[in-house]
């Protein structure tokens, strides 16, 4: 059974710092990995999607990497801003009859001005 773990559960850093969020998964048979952002009480906003054949994806100040063989992904946020404060969720997609996302518990990020 696929399990996804995110470490740390919460992170608080001062504005301007570069930071890394970690995600690990137990089964390397994935089709893609998505990083989402969730603001309090809101839905999920997709940040980056890395297909299983890819190693990384970049969007603005965000860079996500994928090492399928070791079951790990990282989300790197450069020059953090208070507006980056949110919960970040990692999810892997498996196909068992249908396309299913398996989520981690998330990392709650606070950027202090």
Partner 1 sequence: SQTIHQWPATLVQPVGSPLSLECTVEGTSNPNLYWYRQAAGRGLQLLFYSVGIGQISSEVPQNLSASRPQDRQFILSSKKLLLSDSGFYLCAWSVGQSRPYEQYFGPGTRLTVT
3 state SS of 52: coil
3 state SS of 83: helix
Note whether 113 binds partner 1 by CB under 8 A: no
Say how far apart CA 104 and CA 75 lie, in whole Å. Answer: 13
Note whether 104 binds partner 1 by CB under 8 A: yes
Restricting to residues 24-53, which ones interact with partner 1 according to CB under 8 A?
31-32, 34, 36, 41-46, 49, 51
Note whether 98 binds partner 1 by CB under 8 A: yes
Min dist. Cβ of residue 27 to partner 1 (A): 16
- For 20, 21, 42, the CA distances from 64, given in Å and listed in that order, are 9, 9, 23
**Of residues 77, 91, 109, 111, which one binds partner 1 by CB under 8 A?**
91
Residue 90, H or E segment: strand 86-95
Min dist. Cβ of residue 6 to partner 1 (A): 9
Residues 88, 36 contacting (CB under 8 angstroms):
yes
| Residues engaged in binding partner 1 (CB under 8 A) | 4, 31-32, 34, 36, 41-46, 49, 51, 89, 91, 93, 95, 97-101, 103-106
């Amino acid at each position: 059974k696929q399990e996804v773990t995110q470490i740390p559960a919460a992170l608080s850093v001062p504005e301007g710092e570069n930071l890394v969020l970690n995600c690990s998964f137990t089964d390397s048979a994935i089709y893609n990995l998505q990083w989402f952002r969730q603001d309090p009480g809101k839905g999920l906003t997709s940040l980056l999607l890395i297909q299983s054949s890819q190693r990384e994806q970049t969007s603005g100040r965000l860079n996500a990497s994928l090492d399928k063989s070791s079951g790990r992904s990282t989300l790197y946020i450069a020059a953090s801003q208070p507006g980056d404060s949110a919960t970040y969720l990692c999810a892997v997609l498996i196909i068992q009859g249908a396309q299913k996302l398996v989520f981690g518990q998330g990392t709650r990020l606070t950027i202090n001005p």
